[in-house]
Chain A
Amino acid sequence: MSVKEVDNIKMDSTEGFMEDPRYKQCNKEARYGVILGLLNLVWWYVFGYGLGDKPVEGYTYILGFPSWFFFSCVLGAIVFIGLTFFMVDKLFKHMPLDKFTEEEAKEYLKSIEGKEA
């Protein structure tokens, strides 16, 4: 984030106050959570019904499980645990949680600006 953008945050707020600088990242993280949740639902549904909604006689088996169950619930669990770790470790950022004073807010903005530069 450039210095100009930092100024923009202040100017942008039409309400006439400075928006908490942490919220931008917070909103991003909430969005990641929603996206991962939806992907998870799609994976679960597509493998579960895609491979499972047919006569049982035609099933193939992996590790003893019917393949629909293996892909949807067993492999799905492993994949999404992996993705959760990735999301939390790589996409989530640490930040203080206490109420900011104006100085702390500015300092926080500077610190993320430093990291992204």
Chain B
Amino acid sequence: MGNLNLSVLIPIIVYFSLMYIIGIYAAKILSKVAKSKGDGSQYMEEYMTGGRDTGGFVLAMTLVATYLSAGSFIGGPGTAYTIGLAWVFLAMSQMPTGYYTVSVLGKKFAIISRKVNCNTITDFLRARYRSNAVVILASLSIIFFITAAMAAQWIGAARLLQGSTGLDYKVALFFFGITVVVHTAIGGYRGVVLNDTLQGIVMTISTVALFAMVLVKGGGITNIIQNMKAIDPGMISPMGVDPGFTSKAWVTSYWVLVGFAVIGLPSVAQRAMSYKDTKSLSSGIKYGTVVSIVLLLGMHLVGAFGSTLVSGIESGDLVVPTLAVSLFPDVLAGIMLAGPLAAVMSTVDSQLLVVVGAIVNDLYVNYIKPQVAEDAKRVSKLTIGTTIVMGIVTFLLAIDPPELMVWLNLFATAGQISTFLWPTILGLYWKKANKEGAIASMIVGMVSYVIFNYNYPRPLGMHAIVASLILSLIAFVVVSKFTKEPSKDIIETFWGI
């Protein structure tokens, strides 16, 4: 590991420094709020939602950057490298995500979150169902699943840094981790979304540049496609190189996991309650759709096309870094690699904030010391302290991942979705949704997903999430029908003026 590649490392250091500057800027606004308003709840609102002041472009960028993670920037293109256009096709099933998520949660979600003053998705569930069991299930789901998912993403980012710059793994991990923790801890939501915006821009530039380079080096689309066909005709068929693996039912059902059900991810829902006004929402949807489609199509095509340029890359995770380093001169390669790093960082900073929200806002202030909420200074110490502690926990998990973490990460996305999707949507649109139904759906969704995965990984040929979402929907509706309707007071708060 002795040979550091400085010309790749330096652009990345410059890029990381920018994150700190943005963090400090956001921290200044935060400290103004902490000083001017003595009330801790005001501080919490500013920390978790940026004072509900997010404009259109920033909203779009933070949404896209949050839900496009290492999966879409490293793993996905890596798989497209071996499977070909079928995997690009699969990735493109999430085309609707940019407009779908925010339209469905919609203005109603924004209006209600202002009415009941919620800062996190769990706040929303607490106000809607008034049940400790719901709040605790939701918070624990966030803490365990998201922490595991974060650690896994940190590992990916550190490997990427290690592979391209020659840094030692632990040094790379530390370097990455401290950047995330510092800008999140001091900047809160505002720091995170501003950073996401920068990262979204970096991701876009690096995608477009990589794609253009691959096109030029490959001799144009026609040439590349014919070369892919020569490697294996399956590379240019939607059935893939192994039709048993990329079967129609399975590929199509991916739409549920990465498109439809993204509404259930707390870090995404968080964004849907924090935009400033309906103008921001409109432009957020428009920009968000364009940017997410360009990034998804571009990056996955880079992976698929890359198979004709550099052959024999063993691990899927190394495809994008290897292409960047072999196609670009070093300094530019560093800038290109900032793209995938940005994809990871913008996902984990939002996740970190959601975990901190669950611990401080949803559990500590609610159940342990409610009086803390009065005092902005103490809330601020508590949130910053928790962010740092969670950063250290994630760092330790990423150095030596325990089995439990690996297991949790496997179920992280589906786990969050089965906990939050139906309680959020039905809570928003169905008056009869009650707490018993919500609890039933959370438990059925989670348990059935785990059981399917171990015993019957593709029920009806589809991804297991589909069957477990159907079961948890049935559980929700049936249990709600047979138990007491929500109180009049709840209905009036949510549906009245």
Where the two chains meet, the residues of A that have a C-beta atom closer than 8 Å to any C-beta of B are 15, 17-23, 25-27, 29-30, 32-34, 36-37, 40-41, 44-45, 48-49, 52-53, 56-57, 59, 61, 63-66, 68-69, 72-74, 76-77, 80-81, 84-85, 87-89, 92-102, 104-105
Binds A, one of B283-291, B378-386, B476-484: B283-291
A29 lies within 8 A of B289 (CB): no
B497 lies within 8 A of A40 (CB): no
Task: Kindly report which residue of chain B lies nearest to residue A101, judged by CB atoms.
Answer: B497
CB distance from A17 to the nearest CB of B (A): 4
Q: Which of the residues B89, B104, B259 comes within 8 Å of A69, measured between beta carbons?
A: B89
Task: Kindly report which residue of chain B lies nearest to residue A99, judged by CB atoms.
Answer: B115
Q: Which of the residues A22, A30, A48 comes within 8 Å of B111, measured between beta carbons?
A: A22
The interface residues of chain A lying within 8 Å CB-to-CB of B242 are none
The interface residues of chain A lying within 8 Å CB-to-CB of B108 are 22-23, 26-27, 30
Q: Which of the residues B96, B111, B297, B495 comes within 8 Å of A19, measured between beta carbons?
A: B495
Q: Which of the residues B106, B221, B278, B290 comes within 8 Å of A63, measured between beta carbons?
A: B221
B114 lies within 8 A of A98 (CB): yes
A56 lies within 8 A of B237 (CB): yes
CA distance A95 to B282 in the complex (A): 11
On whether A92 and B252 interact (CB within 8 A), knowing A48-B238, A64-B225, A69-B85, the answer reads: no
The interface residues of chain B lying within 8 Å CB-to-CB of A49 are 238, 248
Interface flags, B95-114, vs A, CB<8A=1, else 0: 11011101111111011001
* CB pairs A–B below 8 angstroms (19 shown): A17-B492, A17-B497, A18-B496, A26-B108, A29-B107, A30-B108, A36-B100, A40-B95, A41-B96, A49-B248, A52-B237, A52-B238, A57-B233, A59-B236, A64-B220, A65-B221, A84-B98, A92-B281, A97-B107
Asked whether any CB of chain A lies closer than 8 Å to the CB of B279, the reply is: yes
> Which 10 pairs of residues, A with B, have the shortest CB-CB distance?
A33-B103, A64-B221, A64-B222, A52-B238, A26-B108, A56-B233, A37-B96, A17-B496, A37-B100, A73-B92
Chain B residues within 8 Å of chain A by Cβ, number: 57
B111 lies within 8 A of A26 (CB): yes
The interface residues of chain B lying within 8 Å CB-to-CB of A101 are 497
Task: Kindly report which residue of chain B lies nearest to residue A77, judged by CB atoms.
Answer: B293
Q: Which of the residues A18, A34, A76, A96 comes within 8 Å of B92, measured between beta carbons?
A: A76
On whether A20 and B237 interact (CB within 8 A), knowing A65-B225, A73-B297, the answer reads: no
Secondary structure class of chain A's binding surface, majority of residues: helix
Instruction: Give the contacts of B212-226 with A (CB-CB under 8 A).
Output: 220-225
The interface residues of chain A lying within 8 Å CB-to-CB of B229 are 56
Asked whether any CB of chain A lies closer than 8 Å to the CB of B88, the reply is: yes
CA distance A44 to B93 in the complex (A): 7
Asked whether any CB of chain A lies closer than 8 Å to the CB of B369, the reply is: no
Q: Which of the residues B103, B114, B289, B290 comes within 8 Å of A30, measured between beta carbons?
A: B103
Task: Kindly report which residue of chain A lies nearest to residue B496, judged by CB atoms.
Answer: A17
CB distance from A28 to the nearest CB of B (A): 10
Task: Choose among A40, A63, A74 the residue with the greatest number of B CB atoms under 10 Å from its CB.
Answer: A40
Asked whether any CB of chain A lies closer than 8 Å to the CB of B407, the reply is: no
Asked whether any CB of chain A lies closer than 8 Å to the CB of B488, the reply is: yes
Task: Kindly report which residue of chain A lies nearest to residue B91, judged by CB atoms.
Answer: A73
CB distance from B276 to the nearest CB of A (A): 8
Instruction: Give the contacts of B222-257 with A (CB-CB under 8 A).
Output: 222-225, 229, 233-234, 236-239, 248, 252, 255
The interface residues of chain B lying within 8 Å CB-to-CB of A99 are 111, 114-115, 497
The interface residues of chain B lying within 8 Å CB-to-CB of A25 are 107
B85 lies within 8 A of A66 (CB): yes
Task: Choose among A44, A61, A68 the residue with the greatest number of B CB atoms under 10 Å from its CB.
Answer: A44
Q: Which of the residues B98, B237, B289, B497 comes within 8 Å of A21, measured between beta carbons?
A: B497
In addition to A22-B107, A26-B106, 13 A-B residue pairs with Cβ atoms within 8 Å of each other are A25-B107, A29-B107, A33-B99, A33-B104, A34-B104, A41-B259, A48-B89, A56-B233, A69-B85, A72-B238, A84-B99, A88-B99, A97-B107
B89 lies within 8 A of A72 (CB): yes
B285 lies within 8 A of A61 (CB): no
A53 lies within 8 A of B239 (CB): yes
On whether A97 and B104 interact (CB within 8 A), knowing A18-B497, A36-B99, A85-B286, the answer reads: no
B96 lies within 8 A of A66 (CB): no
Asked whether any CB of chain A lies closer than 8 Å to the CB of B429, the reply is: yes
B110 lies within 8 A of A97 (CB): yes
CB distance from A3 to the nearest CB of B (A): 19
